[in-house]
Amino acid sequence: MRWMLILMLVGCAADDDECGDTGDAKTFDVHTRLVGQFLDPPDANASSVQVQDGGPACPWRTIENAGVGHYTVAAHHDRFAVAVTCGTDVTVLARSTLDFEPLEVACFANGPASDGFEIKAHSDGAVGNSKYVLQVFVADQPSEKHGFFQVSNFFSWRARGGRYDLVALGHAGDEDLDAPDRLHVVRKIAAADTPDLDVTPADTADWLALGPPVTVELKEGFEALLGYRTSGGTSVGLGGADAFSAPVTAALPTWPAAAAAPGDVYLQALFYDDPSFIYSLEARRESPTPTAFDLQLPFPFQILRDTETSFLFVRNSPADGYVLSCNNGDHVFVTDFTTHWLGDELRYELPQLDGVDYTECRFWDGSVRGHRSATETFRATTHVPN
């Protein structure tokens, strides 16, 4: 593959036309939220928000919040970037005025919440011969799936308000995690009611047998997952299969038709991890009804470290954007840039930001993301060689 290298003039003075702030501007809202405590994360101010109006040679300036968790960016040029610092974590969003994705950054909470409303679920352990399997899902926070014997179990989530769908997946009579499961769904639970729901697996009308299976054929090294997302936003893992040691043909269950509601969607996912742990691939699909499992993985993604602060990557398929990340101890740096921002360039230079030191970032990961249709997406991730 022929390489075309276009150098970014980082550190050189940019002309006024590239970085000036005269003329009309498009405004964008940067939204920061505190995640890790509530099902409905609250707005939270970042430690610092810096903006670059124009290309990568333009200066960065700090902006003030325009209300808790909101910062207004005025972009006078096609390209702009936002750097959000939360504690020791820094996230850079490099965007174009042609992009329409929301500018949102998650700031992670240091500890669990003690206020708000608590949603609870429990199982008293009195199931048949007292052996059972249980897993509970609310929003995007599932419990672990475990087999139990004469054990009571308790689950809890916190929310500031709103309504949520709770889904319990399990069966009575044994502790086999692979045995056929039944499902119980309770929709639109009000957090303000502080419910405590009994999710003890039982052979009752509330617990429904899972739907007809979908056949999944996997080559060696592949993994598949089937799931469901309710109209209320709760994601449920229905089953999976892996072919880590040999090819596999499996039958994975679907959502029971009797439990379906308008707005629910089926989820399919296919994964592959390189045996040498260099790269990983994934493809995902959403559909209103069960469909054949025929997902296709993307090509591996390649990115090279050119200098201490610059990277070169190969484009081998259409993409929506790229991510570079470094996680070293208590320091996390993530830069997320779209193809509209990148243009035709193949080199990415790390931004020179106040308070950011890359010397501890010895190991980097890179990923590419894209879509094949409105409902099918892909991602390829790789370790960046030093």
Q: Are 228 and 137 in contact (CB under 8 A)?
A: no
Whether residue 316 is predicted with pLDDT greater than 90 in this model: the reply is: no
Q: Which pLDDT score is estimated for 124?
A: 83
Q: What is the pLDDT of residues 106-158, one digit of tens each?
A: 999 988 888 999 999 999 876 555 789 999 999 999 999 999 887 889 999 99
Place of tokens 């290309």: 55
DSSP letters along 277-289, please? SSEEEEEEEEESS
Closest residue by Cα to residue 127 from 155, 154, 156, 148: 148
Query: What is the overall mean pLDDT for the chain?
Result: 90
**pLDDT classification of 322: cutoffs 50, 70, 90:** very high
pLDDT at position 8 is 30
Mean pLDDT (whole number) for 180-199: 96
Give pLDDT tens digits for 235-290: 999 999 999 999 999 999 999 999 999 999 999 999 999 999 999 999 999 999 99
Return the minimum-mean-pLDDT range out of 2-16, 21-35, 178-192: 2-16
Sequence-separated (6 or more) residues with CB below 8 Å from residue 314: 1, 301, 302, 303, 346
Give the model's pLDDT for residue 129. 58
**pLDDT cut 70: percent of the chain above it:** 94
For residue 335, is pLDDT > 90?
Answer: yes
- The domain segmentation of the chain, as residue ranges, is 16-111+304-363, 117-209, 211-273
pLDDT range class, residue 199, cuts 50, 70, 90? very high
Of 235 and 24, which is predicted with more confidence?
235
pLDDT score for 324? 94
Burial 89-128 (b: 16+ CB within 10 A, else e): bbbbbbbbbebeeebebbbebeeeeeebbebebbbebebe
pLDDT of residue 192: 97
Higher-confidence residue: 156 or 178?
A: 156
**Residue 16 predicted with pLDDT over 50:** no
Residue 372 has pLDDT above 80, yes or no: yes
Poorest-confidence range of 70-79, 228-237, 266-275, 304-313? 304-313
| Chain-centroid distance, C-alpha 61 | 29
What is d(CA 367, CA 386) in angstroms, rounded to the nearest whole number? 16
According to the model, what pLDDT value does residue 4 have? 25
Q: What predicted TM-score, i.e. pTM, was given to this entire model?
A: 0.89
Residue 5, classified by CB atoms within 10 Å of its CB into exposed (0-12), middle (13-18) or buried (19+), is exposed
Which has the higher per-residue pLDDT, 153 or 355? 153
- pLDDT for 7: 26
List of residues 6+ apart from 289 with CB closer than 8 A: 266
For residue 306, CA distances in Å to 113, 138, 313, 384 come to 43, 44, 10, 10
CA 53 – CA 78 distance, rounded (Å): 9
pLDDT at 329: 67
Joined tokens for residue 368: 């590419």
Residue 10 above 90 pLDDT? no
Q: What pLDDT is recorded for position 22?
A: 77
> In a 3-state reduction of DSSP, which class is residue 18?
helix
